């Protein structure tokens, strides 16, 4: 049963990767500007749907991303624009927390615990006291890196497991392209996740994503950026959160100083005044930060990363 009715290309959740690699054969070729639907598995590859026991989980088959797809005309040094047009979710989610995982895992000693959460009338039910409005987001999204394979659990300059709550319906992401065709893939949706993902999971859920993928020539990036209605943000991942934060700031300054006629020190002041440094996640093999600034401020200096959105 498809959640998003769509006449165009559709990539099934049977076609998944566990690493982003230039050597993976694409499952589909598409023209720049084309829309398509990705059917995605939850981060446990639906294993818990078959057997809701964490003991039997095959950890070699977690964090699948659907794809990869080859975008015609994409070449190393270009930018891939990814418009997230629509997200639809399954009717239940899974969470895991416990010994050895997440920010509190070193204080726990009773293995991993698992819970199934239902979605009813558009709300995620936690218990009989608390339920939440859904805020669907995509955890793993990115392109093939240049010269190494990166497993889907790890975020880096190619995107990957960034677990950024801002990657939701209506937002547009931009990735540096490292290989011909870009080899884009996405998966690991969450019905809801708090910034940081402190326990190592959000409400992990399968679903479908309607995307439009376009190649932008003559634009360079070194790490993903995101544009939504209000804000422009740079996303950076590194071994520690401190390093990721510094990278996000550095990359933002690099982007702005070419475009805004202002001494670099004053650009730094402006960021210090009105940009927010925020946590994407602190629980994956690399940590992810974002630096978020209002588009209105940038537009006052005639800087708009992509005037078409
Ligand atoms: Ca994730
Ligand atoms: Zn996830």
**Residue 94: nearest ligand to its CA?**
2
At 1, the pLDDT band (50, 70, 90 cuts) reads low
Angle subtended at Cα 60 by Cα 142 and Cα 156, rounded to the nearest 5 degrees: 25
Arithmetic mean of pLDDT, 163-184: 98
**Residue 281: nearest ligand to its CA?**
1
**Residue 136: nearest ligand to its CA?**
2
- The model's pTM is 0.97
Cα 1 to ligand 2 centroid, rounded to whole Å: 23
Q: Is the model's pLDDT at 270 over the cut of 90?
A: yes
Cα 140 to ligand 1 centroid, rounded to whole Å: 6
Domains of the chain with CATH codes: 10-216 (2.60.120.580), 228-297 (3.10.28.20)
| Sign of the CA dihedral with 134 first, then 140, 142, and 143 last | negative
**Residue 204: nearest ligand to its CA?**
2
Q: What integer pLDDT is reported at residue 52 of this predicted model? A: 82
Cα 28 to ligand 2 centroid, rounded to whole Å: 24
**Residue 202: nearest ligand to its CA?**
2
Cα 4 to ligand 1 centroid, rounded to whole Å: 23
**Residue 188: nearest ligand to its CA?**
2
Residue percentage of the chain with pLDDT more than 90:
93
Q: Residue 63 contacts by C-beta under 8 Å, 6 or more apart in sequence?
A: 18, 43, 139, 140, 151, 152, 153, 161, 187, 188
Q: What integer pLDDT is reported at residue 59 of this predicted model? A: 86
Q: Is the model's pLDDT at 212 over the cut of 80?
A: yes
Cα 204 to ligand 1 centroid, rounded to whole Å: 8
Instruction: Supply the mean pLDDT for the chain.
Output: 96
Classify burial at 164, counting beta carbons within 10 Å of its beta carbon; exposed 0-12, middle 13-18, buried 19 or more.
Answer: buried
At 22, the pLDDT band (50, 70, 90 cuts) reads very high
């Amino acid at each position: 049963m498809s959640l998003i009715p769509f006449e165009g290309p559709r990539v099934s959740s049977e076609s998944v990767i566990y690493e982003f690699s230039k050597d993976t054969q694409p499952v589909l070729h598409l023209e720049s500007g084309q829309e398509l639907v990705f059917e995605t598995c939850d981060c446990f590859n639906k294993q818990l749907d078959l057997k809701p026991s964490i003991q039997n989980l095959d950890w070699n088959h977690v964090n699948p991303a659907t794809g990869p797809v080859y975008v015609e005309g994409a070449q190393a040094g270009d930018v891939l624009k990814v418009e997230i047009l629509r997200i639809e979710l399954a009717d239940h989610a899974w969470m895991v927390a416990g010994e050895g995982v997440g920010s509190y895992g070193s204080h726990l000693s009773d293995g991993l615990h698992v819970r199934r959460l239902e979605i009813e009338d558009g709300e995620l039910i936690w218990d009989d006291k608390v339920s939440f409005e859904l805020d669907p987001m995509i955890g793993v999204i990115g392109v093939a890196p240049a010269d190494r394979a990166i497993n889907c659990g790890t975020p880096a300059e190619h995107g990957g497991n960034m677990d950024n709550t801002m990657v939701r319906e209506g937002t547009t992401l931009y990735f540096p392209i490292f290989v011909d065709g870009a080899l884009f893939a996405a998966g690991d949706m969450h019905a809801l996740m708090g910034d940081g993902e402190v326990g190592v999971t959000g409400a992990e859920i399968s679903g479908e994503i309607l995307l439009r993928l376009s190649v932008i020539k003559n634009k360079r990036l070194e790490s993903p950026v995101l544009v939504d209605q209000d804000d422009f943000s740079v996303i950076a991942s590194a071994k520690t959160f401190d390093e990721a934060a510094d990278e996000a700031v550095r990359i933002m300054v690099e982007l702005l100083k070419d475009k805004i006629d202002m001494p670099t020190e004053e650009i730094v002041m402006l960021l210090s005044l009105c940009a927010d440094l925020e946590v994407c996640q602190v629980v994956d093999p690399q940590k992810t930060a974002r630096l978020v600034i209002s588009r209105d401020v940038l537009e006052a200096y005639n800087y708009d990363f992509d005037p078409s959105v």
